């Protein structure tokens, strides 16, 4: 079955950016040792998220071509909110505080 190409909406772009903001926050506070450690601990595709980070990360690489991946996987969002103090409300809507603590 052919893959459907989905364009990225402003809502998806916001969630993608907040996901990488939250990872940056966790790495900077040494809650997790690195981005790759998060991907490996939760069996996420490191190449996928490295590519997405170039487009949606805290300091995106403007010279890089846009990511072919348009959305963060639900599993990645789940791990970020269930195992760390990241607010699901903030992650999805941008409302409120980043952390639940």
Residue 18 placed within a domain: yes
Residues 44, 76 contacting (CB under 8 angstroms): yes
Question: Residue 66: its pLDDT value, please?
Answer: 78
Under a CB-based contact definition with an 8 Å cutoff, are residues 91 and 80 in contact? yes
pLDDT tens across 18-49, in order? Answer: 999 999 999 999 999 999 999 999 999 999 99
Residue 67 belongs to what domain range?
Answer: 12-93
The reply to whether 37 falls in a domain is: yes
Does 4 fall in a domain?
A: no
How many distinct structural domains can be found in the chain?
1
Q: Distance (Å, rounded) from C-alpha 76 to C-alpha 15?
A: 11
- Per-residue pLDDT of 49-100, as tens digits, reads 998 998 888 776 777 777 788 899 999 999 999 999 999 999 999 999 999 9
- pLDDT at position 42 is 96
Does residue 41 fall inside a structural domain?
A: yes
* pLDDT of res. 14: 93
């Amino acid at each position: 079955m052919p893959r459907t190409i989905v364009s990225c909406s402003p809502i998806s772009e916001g969630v993608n950016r907040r996901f990488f903001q939250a990872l940056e926050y966790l790495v900077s506070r040494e809650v997790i040792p690195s981005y790759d450690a998060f991907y490996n601990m939760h069996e996420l595709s490191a190449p996928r998220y490295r590519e997405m980070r170039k487009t949606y990360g805290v300091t995106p690489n403007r010279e890089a071509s846009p990511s072919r991946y348009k959305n963060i996987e639900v599993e990645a969002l789940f791990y970020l909110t269930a195992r760390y103090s990241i607010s699901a409300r903030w992650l999805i809507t941008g409302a409120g505080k980043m952390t639940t603590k």
